[in-house]
Structure 1
Amino acid sequence: MNIVHTLTIRHLKQNKRRTLVTIIGVIISVAMVTAVATLVFSFSDVMVRHTIADTGEWHVQYQDVTKEQLAAIQGDDESKSVAMTRDVGYAPLEGGENPNKPYLFIKEYNAQGFEQFQIDLSKGRLPQTDKEVVISEAVAMDGKVNYDIGDHLTLRVGERFEQEGNHCLDQTEPLRREDGTLTETLEHVKTREYTVVGIIKSPVWESAWAPGYTILSYVDENFIGADDRVDALVVLQRVNPFLFVHAEELAEKNDIGNVQYNNSLLHYYGLSKSEASYSMMFSLSAIIMGVIMIGSVSLIYNAFAISVSERSRHLGMLASVGATKRQKRNSVLFEGIVIGLISIPIGILCGLAGIGITFWFMNSMIQGALWTQEELRLIVTPLSLLITCMVSMLTIFISTYVPAIRASKVSAMDAIRQTTDVKLTVKAVRTSKFIRKLFGIEAEIGLKNLKRNKRRYHAIVFSLVISIVLFLTVSFFTVGMKRSLDLSQEGVDFDIEVSYSSGKRIDERLMQSIVSLDGVTEYNMTHEWYKNAWIEEALIAEELQEKVKKDRELLQNGKYPYDIKIHALNDSSLQAYATAVGADYTQLTDPDHPAAIVMDTIHYQDMNTGRYIQTKAMYANIGQSIELTNISEESGGSTKKISNVTVAALTDQAPMGMNPVGVGGLNIIVSERVMDRLTDNEDSANVQTYVHLRSTEPMKTQQEIEEMHETNLNIYNVYQSRRSEEQQIRLMSVFSYGFIVLISAISIANIFNTISTGISLRKVEFAMLKSVGMTPKGFAKMMNYESVFYGVKSLIFGLPISFVVMYLIDRAFANKFSYEFTFPWLSVLSVMVAVFVIVGSAMLYSGSKVKKENIIDALKQESI
């Protein structure tokens, strides 16, 4: 070790407090990088495990493959494991009491398939031959047919077909029934013999409206005939962006017609075949990592900048005894290495400990709020540690290089006299004459103090700016993620839908019987009716305006034909909904002057681009009139006027159970009295009634409704679909707010560290002011003004930079999701308040420590 390095270490030891402050700044930065990297890997891990539990573990599915094609898939170098499955068909459930599930649905897996799809066995064992099956518990619980291990089944197995047409129905399509009579048939029926060897819990992938109870059998590839077809579900050796190209090439090489991907799982590996999705993920990752990187550099840079500023006299003394520019530069860089060797391991441990404690608290929240048994695990991988170390070392190098270059250029005399850091020229410390008049001499002194040492106050302001940008960026990013997730979901906000297959209205007696069931917590009854309206070109959706520019024949007298979907709510539901959207309930219930709440915002997925779009369905105004009509195609598009409806309110909030419409459609909500006023006898027959329910026990509620034995009543239980949506949204919320809390804590620590360091280094300056007569009250006033100045200055720079970053994030989301930019007023207001509170607290805390210093001791102090 040379003499310069020895002196550097000795100087660090002598100035323990300054060294400790620098180390703390670096530890905070490293902890932030560690926490972010660990959070990303841990979030990906829990979502991968959660998705595997729901949809099974597979990455690529090759459908309808022959035995020869299956062998090619199994022999592929990229295939880690291959599960086989095929749908055998449906068999009537003899003695079943559930009219909505009259079938058994037989599905076969090989041994690997049972493993990959995590079949939950209640008792018995899994099938080992194609003559054995396991039965779902729901057959006994819901279908009221009891099977036990050892029972022999003789089933007539076939495929479901619509009565008219050749469309083959699968397990995702509900039972086809009209007026209580099945309108579907079983064809290609063959007899199969099975022995029950086990009982399983209902598979999570079986939808509640599926017409058959799932029973599972075994398929052995050794007994697959030349003409038999199976589906091959592949778990890959390596999950990387090249898997899509490889799968397509393998399919093309072996004449495999259909390839599917487990997009819900691959999404959490950061992969998507969609160019829009990939562009969005890449852009967002680059922006967020860039912001975090800049934040880390700023934290460490501030720590070293202040340290080098205070070491300028020491560096000048080295120069005065012959130290070269290179030696002075290397002294600072060596200090960075020493600080890094101490701080990086501690920072990594602190980051891991912080995330571990956060997960410990979050797991109880997730277990209680969600229907998932997957726990958050602290995932520490060599890659995450490597990323953390590389980013930390790079930021330390960048943070020390600039101060090192600056230190090497300072002459010995300037460094010893400290003329580079402290500016004493009249121009440098000039302040406005209004400062003293408005705030007093103390405020003017405080401002001069800031101006005379610009580097120090710039470091504090820069630290505040970075903290503001970090918080607003992460806050806006998490809100954008939740909005995007909401758009991509199906929008199921109920558990059970009840309606008549004959299309007639549900009477009040039956509705009260349904909604009074024990498990029902919320309900909504809606009457639906379809009409048309001619809308002025200036008021139609932007997408339609682009369309009519290319084809003016779509317009008639300057108007575009809209499909109007009218929803009539009962009085109690309408009153609650009107209050929520700010509409006048009395106006809505006046049949002589029909009025409606208009859903002027819609969202849909563009099938051509794959983008999820939120847009205006129509540019309407409150008080405007919509003329409802019948457009008859049989009469050559002739229009029959029905009535005018006044727009009472505009909203993007939908009542429970209302399905979104596409571009060129409009949802309007009216009262039952207005609906009766608009419809005549002929129209009344076309009104469909739906009751939507939320229940604490959806399966039990469905069973109780079925036991009412109401003819032609359709019951769709969609709680599994809703559960999946809520799981993802809630889990995203937990991570979002956890991320915000993490960044907020780091930002606050950064601000406290920077300000307290700056105040501590000004002890001599404060002692001089007190020695010439500044009172404690005047000192407090000066500190308060500095707090205000720091806060205002940081907001002036921080907010515009944050808006630019938020705009870039919004543009990144626009690759996949299209919705209006929403200014985060609440977050901005929170930041403005928080900045002054945090700065004021830090100044107050640091100032209280300075007040206790003895004036004589402080004036004699050369180092801290």
Structure 2
Amino acid sequence: MNIVNKLTIRHLKQNKRRTLVTIIGVIISVAMVTAVATLGVSFMNLMQKQTIADEGEWHVFYKDVNKAQLKAVQKDEASKSVVISRDLGYALLEGSQNDNKPYLFIKEYNTQGFKQFPIELREGRLPQAANEVVISEHIATNAKVVYEIGDVLTLDVGERFIAEREGQKFYQYDSLFEESDKIFESLKYKTTKSYTIVGIINRPTWEPTWAPGYTVLSYVDESLIGADDTVNATVVLKKVKSSLYSHSEDFAKENKIELESINYNNNLLRYYGVTDNDGLRSTIFSLSAIIMAVIIVGSVSLIYNAFAISVSERSRHLGMLSSVGATNRQKKNSVFFEGAVIGLISIPIGLICGFVGIGITFWFINSIIQGALGVTEKLTATVTPWSILVACAVSIMTIFISTYLPARKASRISAIDAIRQTTDIKLTSKKMKTSRVVRMLFGIEAEIGLKNLKRNKRRYQATVFSLVISIVLFLAVSFFTGNLKKSLELSLKGVNYDIQVTIGNENSEDDKQLIHSIAAIEDVTEYTVMNEMNVNAWIDETSIAAELQSMVEQDKSMLENGKFPYIIRIHALDEISLQAYAQKVGTDYEQLVDPENPAAIVIDTIPYQDQEARKYIETKAIYAEIGQSIDLYHENWETGKVTDLNKVEITALTDQFPMGVHPAGLGNLNIVTSGQVMEQLIDNQIENKIDAGFRSMLFLKSSDPMTTQQEIEQMKESNINIYNVYQSRQQEEQMIMIMSVFTYGFILLITAISVANIFNTISTSVLLRKREFAMLKSVGMTPKGFNKMINYESVFYGIKSLLYGLPISIVVMVLIHSALMNSFSYKFVLPWKSLLFVIAAVFLIVSSAMLYSSVKVKKDNIIDALKQESI
């Protein structure tokens, strides 16, 4: 080790407090990068595990392949394992007491399939031969048909058939086709099978609640598959990478497999960061680049401030080295060496702190995720070689960038200037000039405070820079996570209930009594009764959705007399639900129940998926004003008869959906009102309300949706249909809630780091000004005057940092919004709450940091402080 490096280490040891502050700054920066990298990897890992637990592990699905094609799939170099399955068909379940679920659904798996998919065995064993089956426990609890292990089932297996749709095959996710207790489908006989029951399984998680058949699983023996038989091949890949899409398509072409028969497990693949959507891929890469850039800039600022202050205070030491013959290169290397020493100490500690901090955080929130959100998998801190490598590389790069500018500055300091310390503080009358207004409004203390900042502009700029970066970090991450959550909500289906019960079409007193009976079920936590029907309206071209206006410009034949035909969906809520909804959107409930002046709430903002652009879009369904009226009419599509109806006045415009109302597509409009107003609107002018799609529905939220469904079915009502969507709703809520947990966790992390950054910079800056403060006290500044000066300095710091930080933050927000627009489309909206929070927080944090630091220097002896040259 050369003499310059030895002197650098000695200097670090002599100035322990400043060295410690620098090390802490680097540790915080490394911990931040490590925590962010670990957070992202751990979240993706959790969602991978949860998706596999819910739906099974698979990546590519080839439907209806023959034996030769199956062999090719198994030999494909990309395939890790292949599950063979076959949907044999349906058989009538004799004695079933659930009219909505009259079938058994027989599905076959090979041994690998029973391992790969979430199949939970309750009793017995899994099938090992083609004549053995396991049955779902749901048959006994729901259909009230009891089978024992060892029983033999002889089943006439066939396919579901509807005369009007001959040739179309129906699956488990297609509910039973029935209306008013009349079933419109039947089974077309295919084969007779005899099975021995060898086990009982839990109801599979992948069986839809509305499925018409109870799951029965059998065994498919690969050796018995004939040359002309077809099976399904489900592939788990060795490596999940974006090229899997092109590889599977090329493979299908080579082996004469129809491209339409290929499916991908997009639910799982997206958590590997793999997608075939170019817009989504661009979104992911753009967002990753922006957020990583923000984090790196934040890290650089944190470390740079620490090194800049350190080099500034070391200028006399570097000048002495220069006076005894140290070259510019040696002085520059001295700063780089200091950075290397600090890095060697800080990076390992920062990595450990980052991992431990995230691990402790996960330990605390696991109970929330697994309890409240229903997630079965544990959130664990996932440490990968790549995350460690990225954290180390980013940290080393930030330390290098942070030391480069101070090192250049150090190399250029002349011996005389460094010893006299004239480089940091260069006073001219012009630079020190302050406005008379400051002194008139705030007094001499404010003027001195402002002159202090101007006197040492570099230190002042370093503190302001630190504040600006903290503002940008917080607002960028807050905006990013808020918009990510909004994007997630746009991409989901918008199901806001657990169970939908459709009740006949008569709307009789018996139906109303049935509704009250269902709503009174113990597990029901919330319900809405809704009557719904479709009518029409002609809307002026200038008022239709922007997307429709673009289409109309290309094809004017879509208009009639300058108007576009809209489908108006009228939703009449029950009294309690309508009162709550009216209050939520901020309108008068009494207007909605006055049949003399029909009025309704219009949902004018809708999300929808543009299949052509492959984007999720939020747009205005209609451009209208409160108080405006819509002329309604009804057209009978069979007879072509058009009936004019009454007008409806718009009493409120909103983007909020009540329970049971789904977002309408382009050219459709949801309006919400009362039953009285609905009757007045149609005024008995529609002969058959069923022609207008009239139906009465009950929407439920339940603490136990499966039990609630079973209790409704046990009522044995013939005019109801039950549609249980709790599984899809649960997945949506899990995603939104998990995203919320990570959103607030991420913001909390960034906020803590930002506060630490500000405290570190300001407290170091104030502590380095001990001699300056001692000088002011020595010439008569009172404690009260000193406090006023510190307070005004805090205000100047806050105002200056906000003047720079807010515009930069808005630019970053625009970039994030632009990146999201590759896959989504909605308006840019400034997060006013976050902006107001930041403004208040900046002044609070700066004042606290200044107060904390000034309390420490107040206790110092004036003579000792004037003599002191290091801290």
Question: Which category of TM-score, normalised to the shorter sequence, fits these structures?
Answer: over 0.9
**What is residue 588 of structure 2 aligned with on the other side?**
584
Deviation track 1:732-784 (CA, whole Å, cap 9, x = no partner) reads 11111111111111111111111111011111111111111111101100100
> What is the rounded CA distance, in whole Å, between the counterparts of 2:284 and 2:620 in structure 1?
26
Are 1:777 and 2:784 an aligned pair?
Answer: yes
| AA partner of residue 734 (structure 2) | Q
> What is the rounded CA distance, in whole Å, between the counterparts of 1:546 and 1:342 in structure 2?
61
Return the match for 1:481 from 464, 481, 484: 484
Are 1:499 and 2:502 an aligned pair?
Answer: yes
Q: Aligned pair count?
A: 863
**What is residue 534 of structure 1 aligned with on the other side?**
538
Are 1:573 and 2:577 an aligned pair?
Answer: yes
Contact preservation (8 Å) 1:423, 1:451? no
The alpha-carbon deviation at position 303 of structure 1 amounts to 0.7
The alpha-carbon deviation at position 730 of structure 1 amounts to 0.7
Are 1:324 and 2:327 an aligned pair?
Answer: yes
**What is residue 58 of structure 1 aligned with on the other side?**
58
**What is residue 137 of structure 1 aligned with on the other side?**
137
The alpha-carbon deviation at position 482 of structure 1 amounts to 0.8
> What is the rounded CA distance, in whole Å, between the counterparts of 1:285 and 1:121 in structure 2?
42
The alpha-carbon deviation at position 685 of structure 1 amounts to 4.4
The alpha-carbon deviation at position 474 of structure 1 amounts to 0.8
Are 1:85 and 2:88 an aligned pair?
Answer: no
| AA partner of residue 160 (structure 1) | R
**What is residue 47 of structure 2 aligned with on the other side?**
47
> What is the rounded CA distance, in whole Å, between the counterparts of 1:634 and 1:84 in structure 2?
47
**What is residue 544 of structure 1 aligned with on the other side?**
548
Return the match for 1:718 from 725, 738, 748: 725
| AA partner of residue 185 (structure 1) | S
The alpha-carbon deviation at position 216 of structure 1 amounts to 0.9
**What is residue 419 of structure 1 aligned with on the other side?**
422
**What is residue 377 of structure 1 aligned with on the other side?**
380
The alpha-carbon deviation at position 142 of structure 1 amounts to 0.8
Q: Unaligned stretches of 5+ in structure 1?
A: none
> What is the rounded CA distance, in whole Å, between the counterparts of 2:660 and 2:480 in structure 1?
29
The alpha-carbon deviation at position 188 of structure 1 amounts to 3.5
Contact preservation (8 Å) 2:156, 2:189? no
The alpha-carbon deviation at position 114 of structure 1 amounts to 1.2
**What is residue 854 of structure 2 aligned with on the other side?**
847
> What is the rounded CA distance, in whole Å, between the counterparts of 2:506 and 2:697 in structure 1?
10
| AA partner of residue 602 (structure 2) | V
**What is residue 265 of structure 2 aligned with on the other side?**
262
Are 1:767 and 2:774 an aligned pair?
Answer: yes
The alpha-carbon deviation at position 639 of structure 1 amounts to 4.7
**What is residue 740 of structure 1 aligned with on the other side?**
747
**What is residue 752 of structure 1 aligned with on the other side?**
759
Are 1:106 and 2:137 an aligned pair?
Answer: no
**What is residue 440 of structure 1 aligned with on the other side?**
443
The alpha-carbon deviation at position 189 of structure 1 amounts to 2.6
**What is residue 254 of structure 2 aligned with on the other side?**
253
C-alpha change, 1:83 and 1:144, in structure 2 (3 Å) is: same
The alpha-carbon deviation at position 577 of structure 1 amounts to 1.1
Deviation track 1:519-577 (CA, whole Å, cap 9, x = no partner) reads 11111111111111111111110011111111112212211111111111122221111
The alpha-carbon deviation at position 159 of structure 1 amounts to 0.9
The alpha-carbon deviation at position 433 of structure 1 amounts to 1.3
Partner of 1:256, secondary structure, is coil
> What is the rounded CA distance, in whole Å, between the counterparts of 2:404 and 2:690 in structure 1?
80
The alpha-carbon deviation at position 495 of structure 1 amounts to 1.0
> What is the rounded CA distance, in whole Å, between the counterparts of 1:144 and 1:640 in structure 2?
49
> What is the rounded CA distance, in whole Å, between the counterparts of 1:192 and 1:648 in structure 2?
62
Deviation track 1:383-435 (CA, whole Å, cap 9, x = no partner) reads 11011111100110111011101111111111111111012211222111111
> What is the rounded CA distance, in whole Å, between the counterparts of 1:447 and 1:599 in structure 2?
54
Are 1:67 and 2:73 an aligned pair?
Answer: no
| AA partner of residue 687 (structure 2) | E
The alpha-carbon deviation at position 634 of structure 1 amounts to 6.2
> What is the rounded CA distance, in whole Å, between the counterparts of 1:835 and 1:569 in structure 2?
47
The alpha-carbon deviation at position 678 of structure 1 amounts to 2.0
Contact preservation (8 Å) 1:504, 1:685? no
Are 1:837 and 2:844 an aligned pair?
Answer: yes
> What is the rounded CA distance, in whole Å, between the counterparts of 2:217 and 2:642 in structure 1?
55
Partner of 1:372, secondary structure, is coil
Partner of 1:186, secondary structure, is strand
| AA partner of residue 633 (structure 2) | T
Residues 654-803 of structure 1 mapped to structure 2, 5 A cutoff? 654-679=657-682, 680=684, 682-686=687-691, 687-803=694-810
Deviation track 1:627-651 (CA, whole Å, cap 9, x = no partner) reads 0012455677x75321111001111
> What is the rounded CA distance, in whole Å, between the counterparts of 2:483 and 2:84 in structure 1?
39
> What is the rounded CA distance, in whole Å, between the counterparts of 1:833 and 1:179 in structure 2?
61
**Following TM superposition, where does structure 1 have runs of at least 4 consecutive aligned residues deviating by more than 6 angstroms?**
none
Q: Unaligned stretches of 5+ in structure 2?
A: none
Partner of 1:354, secondary structure, is helix
> What is the rounded CA distance, in whole Å, between the counterparts of 2:749 and 2:147 in structure 1?
53
Partner of 1:415, secondary structure, is helix
Contact preservation (8 Å) 1:298, 1:399? yes
Return the match for 2:629 from 607, 617, 625: 625
> What is the rounded CA distance, in whole Å, between the counterparts of 2:221 and 2:410 in structure 1?
75
The alpha-carbon deviation at position 224 of structure 1 amounts to 1.0
Contact preservation (8 Å) 1:595, 1:645? yes
Are 1:460 and 2:433 an aligned pair?
Answer: no
Partner of 2:431, secondary structure, is coil
The alpha-carbon deviation at position 115 of structure 1 amounts to 1.1
The alpha-carbon deviation at position 584 of structure 1 amounts to 1.1
> What is the rounded CA distance, in whole Å, between the counterparts of 1:423 and 1:735 in structure 2?
48
**What is residue 563 of structure 1 aligned with on the other side?**
567
> What is the rounded CA distance, in whole Å, between the counterparts of 1:730 and 1:43 in structure 2?
13
Contact preservation (8 Å) 1:158, 1:187? yes
The alpha-carbon deviation at position 604 of structure 1 amounts to 0.8
Partner of 1:164, secondary structure, is helix
The alpha-carbon deviation at position 85 of structure 1 amounts to 1.3
Deviation track 1:245-302 (CA, whole Å, cap 9, x = no partner) reads 1111111111111211111111111111011111111111111111111111111111
> What is the rounded CA distance, in whole Å, between the counterparts of 2:603 and 2:741 in structure 1?
30
> What is the rounded CA distance, in whole Å, between the counterparts of 1:678 and 1:17 in structure 2?
78
The alpha-carbon deviation at position 670 of structure 1 amounts to 1.5
* Comparing 115-124 and 473-482, the one that deviates more: 115-124
Are 1:215 and 2:219 an aligned pair?
Answer: no
Deviation track 1:153-174 (CA, whole Å, cap 9, x = no partner) reads 1111111122322221100010
**What is residue 307 of structure 1 aligned with on the other side?**
310
The alpha-carbon deviation at position 500 of structure 1 amounts to 3.1
> What is the rounded CA distance, in whole Å, between the counterparts of 2:541 and 2:636 in structure 1?
21
| AA partner of residue 466 (structure 2) | S
> What is the rounded CA distance, in whole Å, between the counterparts of 1:229 and 1:537 in structure 2?
53
> What is the rounded CA distance, in whole Å, between the counterparts of 2:504 and 2:270 in structure 1?
38
Residues 138-287 of structure 1 mapped to structure 2, 5 A cutoff? 138-166=138-166, 167-257=168-258, 258-287=261-290
Return the match for 1:553 from 551, 557, 562: 557
The alpha-carbon deviation at position 684 of structure 1 amounts to 3.6
The alpha-carbon deviation at position 373 of structure 1 amounts to 1.4
| AA partner of residue 603 (structure 2) | M
**What is residue 428 of structure 1 aligned with on the other side?**
431
| AA partner of residue 66 (structure 1) | N
Are 1:346 and 2:355 an aligned pair?
Answer: no
Are 1:7 and 2:10 an aligned pair?
Answer: no
| AA partner of residue 275 (structure 1) | D
Deviation track 1:176-197 (CA, whole Å, cap 9, x = no partner) reads 1133122111114311111111
| AA partner of residue 40 (structure 1) | G
Contact preservation (8 Å) 1:564, 1:668? yes
> Quick one: percent identity of the two aligned structures?
63
Give the alignment's Cα RMSD to 1 decimal.
1.3
> What is the rounded CA distance, in whole Å, between the counterparts of 1:684 and 1:250 in structure 2?
53
Are 1:359 and 2:362 an aligned pair?
Answer: yes
Deviation track 1:665-696 (CA, whole Å, cap 9, x = no partner) reads 10111111111112216144442111101111
